Chain A
Amino acid sequence: MIELKEIDKFIESRFQRIFILKGVNLTINEGEFVTLMGPSGAGKSTLLNILGLLDDDYKGEYLIDGRPIHRMKERERSALHKSEFGYIFQAYHLIDELTVFENIETPLLYRKVPSAERKSIIANLLDRFNMVAKKDLFPAQLSGGQQQLVGIARAIAGKPKVLLADEPTGNLHSAQAQEIMEVFQELHKEGATIIQATHARSNADYGTRLINLVDGKVTSDESIQHA
């Protein structure tokens, strides 16, 4: 469903181009759980941003379901952005002024989901992550792991086809990290496509495919077999 052809991303400096991504070709099918691995500065986050339509300043071709992104109008792209992708961040990025309930509600508001339906979606999510009692708390009142759970709930509330996670466990203890990865695995089993960027090898074991990035280039692409 996602196809990248010869993606280049570079910064133009006075005398030379500094490439962040160079000649990336990638096809990701529905239902895959892909891990992007690599050291800092390898271009993992940049690739995620491009995949998530947050960055359109690159060369090359990006097709979703066979449709080229760069020929789409702003409005179409924005609609696609809303329907296809959910985001999870290393620093959770919850809105401090909003309660747990309202944070999860926000993407639904922007998707113009009617009030009654919003409430039932959020109720299900809170239930699923055992956070019903915390729905009126503000992010600052939660532990890191709990905040990331809210982040995940918020990301999947709009029922996106693809979840993009940038170092989702980077700020968490290992126990919390494990819990989050188990949630990802569960979501994957239910049919979600997940692309995560990480530099923890252990996280890759939860996925089905491992792609290594070094200096903006794909150096290996292998599938992971589960016992």
Chain B
Amino acid sequence: MWKNYLKISFRNLKKRKLYTAINLLGLTVALVSFILISLYIHHEWSYDRMYTDADRIYRFTQVFSDSEESQLVSSTPSSLVPTVLDEVDEAEMGTLLFDLSIFQSVVIDNAGEKQEEKKFAYADENFFNVFDFNVLVGNPQTMLSEPRQMVITESTAERYFGSAFSAEGKTLKVETTDYLITGVMEDFPSNSHIDFDFIVSFKSHRHGSDPQWSPSNYYSYVKLREGTDLEAFESKLAVMTEKYLGNEMRQYSFETGFFLQPVTDIHLGDQSLNNIKPTTDKKYLYIFAVVALLLIAIGVINYVNLATAEATERNKEVGLRKVLGAMRAQLFGQFVSESMILTFAAMLLSLLFIYILAPQFSDMAGFEIGAGNLLSPISILGLFGLMIVVGLLAGIYPSLILSGMEPIKALGNNIKLGGGAWVRKGLVVFQFFISIGLLISTFVVQSQLNYMQDVNLGYKQDHLIAVTYPYQFRSKIEGVVDEMKRSGSAISVSRAADKPIFIQAGYSIMSGGDNTEAFSITGYSVDTELVETLELELLAGENFSEADPTRQEARETEAIHPVLFNEFAIKRMGWDPEEAIGKNVNLGFGMGRIKGVVKDFYFNSLHHSVGPLVIYNDPDQANVLLVKLPAGNPAPHLATLNDIWYEIGDGRPFNYEFVDTAYGQMYTSEQTISQIFGLFSGIAIFIACMGLFGLVSYVALRRTREISIRKVLGATQANVIQVLASDFFKLLAISAILAIGFGLWFSSAWLQDFANKASIGIGPYVIAISIVLALAAVTIGYRAWKVFKLNPAKTLKSE
């Protein structure tokens, strides 16, 4: 029986080529998208679950709070892990990791050949006990236990030495220190939150042999014993914190405490914590999952619509089979087997497509896609399940309609369009609702992105480059600055503690001096030229001068610090810019005198609004060189600067970035979402338009005679198109109205995350709806034109 079903289904599909092609293509595109999104979501969910006992591994977080606010960070002091291991029984083992890239990159010297490296970390000797990454060469127990030891990853070893096995025992010079390579590990898995090229023993760091409770620069991990009560553990931490930090907290009137974060929560957890790799907002995974399901739905709807539209033509067959003794269930089986065959074929095509384009997809997704994750037993089971579900979803409704026809009516000729016209209309509305809705969302995201790129930040980013330099380089930096200015390839050069796009150092203003307000403030340590380099606008007072003492000098001589504030901070203290000049303010570490007030500028991503900012004359804290290039082609100037840097810096590579590019990179996740939405709305529109084409084709076929008569009676082409299109455009209009509602909801919900929102006018709505309507019009128009071209003499004769 089944053999017969399959044979007949196959023949039916072959006979109706347009119908089969549309369905096959629609389902394939939907399946490809669905499978890829599933792989991506699975990859994101699988983060940090590969370690033995991953459920018992936690990262410490530390909270700092004062009277105003509290801040949770994921970096902790170097004393934390040793103390916890000593004093709290439930801690089975622990390790500390220090990501040096938050401060600087390093220059690695391999027998005279220098390269700048960013993925560089310190880790203590227990690192490979807590995280059992695969080690290719070396003894995991001892390879980080002594100072000046280094473990590198396989690909790094290949990069430097050709192969993992030739690396062991070699020496690499990091800045000025030699390290012995004691181990080579496999590259960090793409779904680990840890990712470095170089790990050196923490004993090489000054805090390695002498742990401190400050600063909080280190990631600390602990593996708890089985059955540990987390609350009890955290309360023991509180006791420990009081013991070691109690006095200090009272002295400086702040509070701090330590908490645990499961290692498996790092990647999708609290987005405000600092992390080694960019994390993913779980919200986006949900959005992607919904989008994946919607795409499948659109593909399935195509099938349902075409199959029910086509039911008219299959009336006779169904009626006959019933007369010949077919039970409804048997007919149902036959029609479902048709949708199953189609789904199966689509699945094979999808896998082939994914296989061929695996390298491109892997690049896009940021992890390896291939036979490994597609053909594992679980994936195969999943794909099989997906196929069954899609096949059934597509097949059930049309099969019910078809198999439910009454034989006498079906055999007669007076059959109107098969049942389900309403359902079909509803489904078309749904498809285009999704397509237009996704497109509107894409444009909303895009508007916000454009807004963020174009907004006046309060300083000038064009022709501004930033070069980060390490602590060791500070002695040489003044020489570099002088030389750069003399060369004419730099209009202005300033040293600063951060790029202006994201200033993060937190300070407090205390009450005292002329000011009674106490509040948290962001601090920016710079030299005297910053105002000129960034082209900041001074509202009152003046910039630092060379005569002003730096923060270091002021502290040594107990002089008053000259400082600049932004307008926001001045208002916070209750002053106008003009009247603030010369007032004394308690900076916490000393007294400051307001020398100037700058106009507010954005110094964080636009998710945040501008807050109070204090600018210190403190070049000793700086580690970024901001260079304003002359207008015009930057290439020759960059070459000049490179030579200066290289010469004075003893062959140190000149690694610069344009500040406007770096600024754009702060919105990577928004850009990703915009691209993905754009891609998927394109796919949705494509599938939906194909379905529309199929439907219009059937309508056109059914109404060929009517159209021919109209033509004979003098209808123009426009009249004919109108006849065919009007029904569909009513449906599209309903979709558009629904999609506008969705767009309004989406833009208000999504823009909530931004303190600075683009004002979304009717632009995105008009453009999205116009695009979809235009495509639909082309689809319908093409079909109508084909019908119009038919010779009425022929079509009428055949009736």
Contacts and interface: CB of A to CB of B under 8 A. Distances in A.
Contacts of A107: 324-325
Contacts of B1: 109, 112
Contacts of A130: none
Interface residues of B, number: 19
A49 B408 contact: yes
B68 to A, nearest CB: 78
A9 interface: no
Contacts of A55: 408
Contacts of B321: 95, 106, 110
Interface string A24-65: 000000000000000000000000010010110000000000
B320 A78 contact: no
A87 B11 CA distance: 25
A97 B327 contact: no
Contact of A93 (B320, B325, B327, B330): B320
Interface residues of A, number: 24
A158 B316 contact: no
Interface string A111-125: 110000000000000
B15 interface: yes
Contacts of B11: 97
B573 to A, nearest CB: 86
B320 to A, nearest CB: 5
A98 B320 CA distance: 12
B325 A97 contact: no
A87 B408 CA distance: 13
Interface in B1-22: 1, 4, 8, 11-12, 15
A98 B325 contact: no
Given A49-B408, A97-B12, A97-B15, A106 B324 contact: yes
Interface string B296-339: 00000000000000000000110011011111001000000000
B317 A97 contact: yes
A158 B325 contact: yes
Interface string A72-95: 000000100110000101000101
B411 interface: yes
A154 B325 contact: no
A110 B411 CA distance: 19
B407 interface: yes
Given A49-B408, A54-B407, A54-B408, A95 B327 contact: no
A158 B323 CA distance: 12
B59 to A, nearest CB: 65
Contacts of A54: 323, 407-408
Contacts, number: 46
Given A93-B411, A97-B317, A110 B324 contact: yes
A74 B712 CA distance: 51
Nearest to B319: A93
Contacts of A97: 8, 11-12, 15, 317
A100 B302 CA distance: 33
Nearest to A112: B1
A34 to B, nearest CB: 20
Interface in A158-183: 158
Most A CB within 10 A of own CB, among B1, B12, B320 = B320
A98 B326 CA distance: 16
A58 B243 CA distance: 96
Contacts of A109: 1, 4
A98 B323 CA distance: 16
Nearest to A157: B324
Contacts of B411: 89, 93
Contacts of A106: 321, 324
A105 B12 CA distance: 18
A21 to B, nearest CB: 15
Interface string A149-161: 0000010001000
Nearest to B1: A109
B207 to A, nearest CB: 80
B14 to A, nearest CB: 9
Contacts of B317: 95-97
Given A49-B408, A81-B325, A110 B330 contact: yes
Given A93-B320, A106-B321, A98 B8 contact: yes
Contacts of A87: 323-324
A52 B323 CA distance: 9
Contacts of B12: 97
A127 B401 CA distance: 39
A81 B326 CA distance: 10
A98 B324 CA distance: 14
A108 B777 CA distance: 49
A93 B316 contact: yes
A29 to B, nearest CB: 24
A54 B408 CA distance: 7
A110 B327 CA distance: 8
A52 B407 CA distance: 12
B66 to A, nearest CB: 80
A191 B410 CA distance: 32
A107 B317 CA distance: 13
A5 B121 CA distance: 98
B372 to A, nearest CB: 43
A106 B316 CA distance: 15
Contacts of A105: 4
A112 B330 CA distance: 11
A154 B324 contact: yes
B610 to A, nearest CB: 72
A84 to B, nearest CB: 11
B327 A78 contact: yes
Most A CB within 10 A of own CB, among B8, B323, B408 = B323
Given A54-B407, A97-B8, A110-B326, 12 more contacts: A89-B411, A93-B320, A95-B321, A97-B12, A97-B15, A98-B8, A102-B4, A106-B321, A110-B321, A110-B324, A110-B327, A111-B325
Interface of B: 1, 4, 8, 11-12, 15, 316-317, 320-321, 323-327, 330, 407-408, 411
25 contacts: A54-B323, A54-B408, A55-B408, A78-B325, A78-B327, A87-B323, A87-B324, A89-B411, A95-B320, A96-B317, A97-B8, A97-B11, A97-B12, A98-B8, A102-B8, A105-B4, A106-B321, A106-B324, A107-B324, A107-B325, A110-B326, A110-B327, A111-B325, A112-B1, A154-B324
By Cβ-Cβ distance, the 4 closest A-B pairs, closest first, are A110-B325, A82-B325, A107-B324, A110-B326
